[in-house]
């Protein structure tokens, strides 16, 4: 039965169901309600877990790392500046192939200061070697979190569950929480092959010289590529338990016959779907919900793009001086198709700018009704607000 829950509260309860043994976090908006929720569950005795309230995100990631190698299921959560502060540790966790799960409550990066939602933070660490799964709804965030622990532990890779800050974390809606039996049946007890144990002493994180380093990276890359199977498997196995899919690597929605495609990551999808369905006069679109950004599912993407003339890649982040981040990767992936779609790349909703229903029409107009060359633009920016020289 659906409960009326704020996204963060639902996530806190879901994480507790996954029985983490150590949780370490440093508060940052909009992640706070998640860790506050976990802290309360620990305080109430509902979760047997060491809750370590650290002095920085750098230490949050480090404590989780230490706990995971010492044989405990570990979890952390952060956002924005916190993700950047823990960045070197994130790379280290992934490079050492340590399985743990973190929630990124997606938020813009400074400067200037902005506490609202976009996805610049997780995009900034896309090359850290973590699995990154983006959630379109709070229900997906719940189900993805449970799956993330199994994926992490089976693949020996860390998983970042990306949940749009505020838009999801602070929204109350009807949500289905799994039962403890469902989660326990899906998620075996934590076990890490390379853990630290005095009975079998090993050295982790040693100095690896040029004659071995490329092989380490190759193995890491291959592990991420192979993780695609596990991500799909976890989703279908979990669907068999709770009757809900999250879309595996990506999900095709909307009008499957449409020649226009729109690829999104995260929570903007529902607004676009609603906008299209509410107005039959608008051109139809096929939506591609990219759930797994790392590993990047190039093959699945090509299949999803079959028959498209035009593909809009809509992002909540950008690479200043180049353009989009996901867009060029999609472009590269579709080049291998017999008839690749023209790829248009837009950013929108930066720093929490509201993405309203008319976004759909703006996107469609921009690529169908204007003679716009393929390229990149922040579609909801208003350059007229800027001094002449900055337009």
Partner 1 sequence: MNEQPLQSLDALRARQPRFRGLESGHRACQGCGEALAARLATEAAGPDVVIANATGCLEVFTTPWPQSAWRLPWIHSVFGNVAAVAAGMEAALKQQGRATQVLAFAGDGGTFDIGFQALSGMMERGHNVLFICFDNEAYMNTGVQRSGSTPHAAMTTTSPPGAVRMGKRHMKKDILSIIAAHHIPYAATASVAYPSDLRNKVRRAMDTEGASFLQIHSPCPLGWGHDGSLTIEVARLAVQTGLFPIIEMERGELIGTLPIRDPKPVSEYLKLQNRFRHLFADAYRARKELEHLQAIANRNIERFELRGVGIEKYDTEGADTVHRGGDRWA
Partner 2 sequence: MLEIRIHGRGGQGNVVAAYLLAAAAIDGGRYAQAFPAFGAERRGAPVAAFVRIDEQPIRRRCQVREPSFLIVQDPALMDVAGTLAGLRSHGTILVDGAETVIDDSGDNEIITMPATRLAMEHIGRPVPNTALLAAFITLTELMPLSALVDALAERFKGPVLEKNRKLVEAAAATIEAGRWREVAHGVGA
Instruction: Point out which residues bind partner 2 (CB under 8 A).
Output: 2-4, 6, 29-30, 115-117, 166-168, 170-174, 267-268, 270-271, 273-275, 352, 354-357
Q: Hey, which residues between 143 and 162 contact partner 1 (CB under 8 A)?
A: none
Distance CA 377, CA 320 (A): 11
CB atoms within 10 A of CB 214: 10
**Residue closer to partner 2 (CB basis): 173 or 184:** 173
Q: Please select the residue that binds partner 1; options are 2, 43, 56, 221, rule is CB under 8 A.
A: 56
Q: Please select the residue that binds partner 1; options are 205, 256, 336, 383, rule is CB under 8 A.
A: 205
Distance CA 111, CA 297 (A): 32
Distance CA 224, CA 293 (A): 11
| CB contact at 8 A, 312 and 372 | no
Q: Please select the residue that binds partner 1; options are 18, 41, 74, 305, rule is CB under 8 A.
A: 74
Q: Please select the residue that binds partner 1; options are 59, 106, 139, 292, rule is CB under 8 A.
A: 59
Q: Which stretch binds partner 1 (CB under 8 A): 33-41, 66-74, 225-233, 276-284?
A: 66-74
Find which of partner 2, partner 1, none residue 356 binds, CB within 5 to 8 Å per kind: partner 2
Helix (H) or strand (E) holding 53: strand 50-53
**Residue closer to partner 1 (CB basis): 49 or 133:** 49
| CB contact at 8 A, 167 and 267 | yes
Helix (H) or strand (E) holding 331: helix 326-334
Nearest approach, Cβ of residue 1 and partner 1 (Å): 32
Token digits of residue 137: 């709804």
Distance CA 105, CA 168 (A): 9
Nearest approach, Cβ of residue 198 and partner 1 (Å): 5
Q: Which stretch binds partner 1 (CB under 8 A): 55-63, 139-147, 289-297, 382-390?
A: 55-63
Number of chain residues interacting with partner 1 (CB under 8 A): 45
Q: Is 49 in the site for partner 1 (CB under 8 A)?
A: yes
Nearest approach, Cβ of residue 349 and partner 1 (Å): 33
Token digits of residue 177: 């929480």
CA–CA distance from 219 to each of 62, 80, 96, 149, 333 (Å)?
23, 29, 11, 21, 22
Q: Please select the residue that binds partner 1; options are 29, 36, 54, 154, rule is CB under 8 A.
A: 54
Find which of partner 1, partner 2, none residue 166 binds, CB within 5 to 8 Å per kind: partner 2
CA–CA distance from 140 to each of 53, 238, 263 (Å)?
27, 12, 17
Token digits of residue 256: 């499957």
Nearest approach, Cβ of residue 192 and partner 1 (Å): 10
List phi, psi (to 5°) of 372: -80, 130
Among all chains, which residue has been given the structure tokens 């502060």?
Answer: 85
List residues binding partner 1 (CB under 8 A).
21-22, 24, 48-50, 52-56, 58-72, 74, 88-89, 92, 96, 196-198, 200-209, 212
């Amino acid at each position: 039965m659906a409960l009326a829950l704020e996204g963060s509260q639902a996530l806190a309860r879901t994480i507790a169901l996954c029985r983490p043994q150590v949780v370490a976090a440093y508060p940052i908006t909009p992640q706070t309600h998640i860790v506050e929720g976990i802290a309360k569950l620990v305080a109430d005795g509902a979760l047997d877990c060491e809750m370590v309230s650290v002095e920085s995100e750098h230490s949050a990631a480090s404590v989780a790392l230490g706990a995971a190698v010492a044989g405990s299921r570990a979890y952390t959560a952060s956002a924005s500046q916190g993700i950047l502060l823990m960045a070197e540790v994130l790379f280290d966790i992934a490079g050492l192939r340590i399985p743990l799960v973190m929630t990124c409550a997606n938020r813009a990066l400074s400067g200037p200061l902005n506490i609202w939602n976009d996805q610049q933070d997780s995009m900034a660490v896309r090359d850290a070697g973590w699995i990154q799964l983006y959630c379109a709804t709070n229900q997906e965030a719940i189900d993805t979190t449970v799956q993330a622990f199994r994926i992490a532990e089976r693949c020996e890779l860390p998983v970042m569950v990306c949940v749009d800050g505020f838009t999801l974390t602070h929204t109350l809606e009807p949500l289905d929480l799994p039962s403890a039996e469902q989660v326990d049946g899906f998620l075996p007890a934590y076990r890490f092959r390379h853990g630290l144990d005095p009975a079998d002493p090993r050295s982790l994180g040693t100095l690896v010289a040029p004659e071995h380093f490329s092989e380490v990276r190759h193995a890491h890359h291959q592990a991420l590529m192979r993780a695609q199977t596990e991500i799909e498997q976890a989703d279908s196995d979990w669907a068999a338990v709770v009757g809900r899919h999250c879309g595996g690597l990506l999900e095709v929605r909307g009008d499957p016959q449409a020649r226009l495609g729109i690829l999104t990551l995260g929570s903007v999808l529902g607004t676009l779907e609603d906008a299209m369905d509410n107005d039959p006069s608008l051109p139809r679109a096929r939506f591609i919900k990219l759930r797994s950004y790392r590993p990047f599912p190039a093959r699945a993407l090509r299949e999803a793009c079959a028959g498209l003339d035009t593909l809009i890649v809509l992002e909540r982040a950008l690479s200043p001086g180049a353009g989009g981040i996901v867009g060029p990767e999609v472009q590269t992936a579709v080049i291998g198709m017999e008839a690749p779609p023209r790829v248009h790349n837009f950013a929108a909703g930066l720093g929490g700018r509201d993405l309203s229903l008319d976004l759909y029409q703006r996107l469609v107009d921009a690529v169908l009704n204007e003679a716009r060359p393929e390229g990149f633009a922040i579609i909801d920016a208003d350059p007229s607000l800027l001094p002449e020289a900055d337009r």
